[in-house]
């Protein structure tokens, strides 16, 4: 996968079984440093294999081979035997070595890593918080995060500006000093002013 999709250059796929009679360089994409997925090579002499998505992404801004730096004109599909050999490699979830998910199918591992893995990274939904945690720790982080806002806050700076942990905000909202009818009136005033300024 292209670096923009993987987020960083760390390994996304881990080979669980050793390669037998296959040089690791033959099955590793130079662009993302992972096991090649949907292998392609270029019309240069080096014959290096790349992930189809990686080399497509690379060639949007470059006209040279990422491995040998030769100017290239064409992307070619790599041999079927290489694709079959790559499909036979068991892959592990890339999110964390504690995750025990392993499959031969790249798409199964990719789907798990993005959507199901408890170790996948997620951002805190509180707007002011820039913390990134594992999905399995998100609930605990949300309980302790001190950057949750009162529901009576209206961006950019109207309403109640109180922030705190989820428990603190829950108690605060029960007796918040800004009632909903006042907020509604404030929102109507802002909307009317915006409409007037647009005209």
The partner residues of 71 in beta bridges, in order of sequence, read 64
| Claim to verify: residue 70 and residue 136 sit in the same structural domain | no
Of the listed ranges 35-44, 51-60, 84-93, the least confidently predicted one is: 84-93
Check whether 13 has a pLDDT greater than 60: no
End-of-domain residue from the set 116, 142, 170? 116
| Claim to verify: residue 12 and residue 89 sit in the same structural domain | yes
| Claim to verify: residue 110 and residue 21 sit in the same structural domain | yes
pLDDT digits (tens, 9 = 90+) for 133-187: 999 999 999 889 888 888 777 776 677 888 888 888 888 888 877 766 676 777 7
Q: How many domains does the chain have?
A: 2
Task: Give the CATH number, domain containing residue 12.
Answer: 3.30.40.10
Cis peptide upstream of residue 71 (ω within 30 degrees of 0): no
User: What pLDDT score does 199 carry?
Assistant: 61
CB 50 within 8 A of CB 33: no
Residue 38: CA count within 13 A, CB half-sphere: 10
User: What pLDDT score does 65 carry?
Assistant: 95
Check whether 70 has a pLDDT greater than 70: yes
DSSP 60-91: TT-SB-TTT--B---EEEPPHHHHHHHHTS-E
| Claim to verify: residue 17 and residue 80 sit in the same structural domain | yes
| Claim to verify: residue 21 and residue 109 sit in the same structural domain | yes
User: What pLDDT score does 179 carry?
Assistant: 67
CA angle 126, 119, 10 (to 5 degrees): 100
pLDDT digits (tens, 9 = 90+) for 75-134: 999 888 877 777 777 778 888 889 988 887 777 888 898 899 999 999 998 878 999 999
| Claim to verify: residue 99 and residue 161 sit in the same structural domain | no
Range of the domain at 83: 3-116
| Claim to verify: residue 81 and residue 34 sit in the same structural domain | yes
CB 18 within 8 A of CB 51: no
Question: Taking every pair of C-alpha atoms in the chain, what is the biggest distance, in angstroms?
Answer: 74
User: What pLDDT score does 43 carry?
Assistant: 92
User: What pLDDT score does 146 carry?
Assistant: 87
| Claim to verify: residue 55 and residue 146 sit in the same structural domain | no
Q: Which residue has the higher pLDDT, 175 or 44?
A: 44
The partner residues of 42 in beta bridges, in order of sequence, read 75
Of the chain, the end-to-end C-alpha distance in Å amounts to: 48
| Claim to verify: residue 94 and residue 160 sit in the same structural domain | no
| Claim to verify: residue 22 and residue 104 sit in the same structural domain | yes
End-of-domain residue from the set 101, 116, 131? 116
């Amino acid at each position: 996968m292209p670096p923009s999709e993987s987020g960083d250059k760390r390994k996304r796929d881990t080979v669980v079984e050793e390669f037998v009679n296959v040089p690791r360089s033959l099955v590793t994409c130079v662009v993302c440093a992972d096991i090649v997925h949907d292998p392609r090579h270029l019309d240069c002499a080096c014959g290096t294999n790349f992930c189809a998505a990686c080399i497509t992404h690379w060639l949007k801004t470059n006209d040279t081979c990422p491995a040998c730096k030769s100017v290239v004109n064409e992307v070619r599909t790599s041999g079927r035997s290489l694709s079959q050999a790559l499909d036979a490699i068991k892959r592990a979830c890339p999110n964390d070595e504690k995750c025990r998910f392993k499959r031969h199918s790249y798409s199964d591992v990719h789907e798990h890593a993005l959507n199901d893995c408890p170790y996948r990274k997620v951002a805190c939904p509180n707007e002011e918080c820039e913390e990134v945690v594992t999905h399995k720790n998100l609930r605990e982080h949300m309980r302790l995060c001190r950057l949750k806002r009162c529901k009576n806050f209206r961006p950019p700076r109207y309403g109640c500006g109180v922030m705190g942990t989820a428990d603190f905000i829950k108690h605060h909202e029960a007796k918040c000093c800004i009632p909903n009818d006042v907020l509604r009136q404030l929102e109507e005033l802002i909307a009317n002013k915006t409409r007037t300024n647009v005209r």
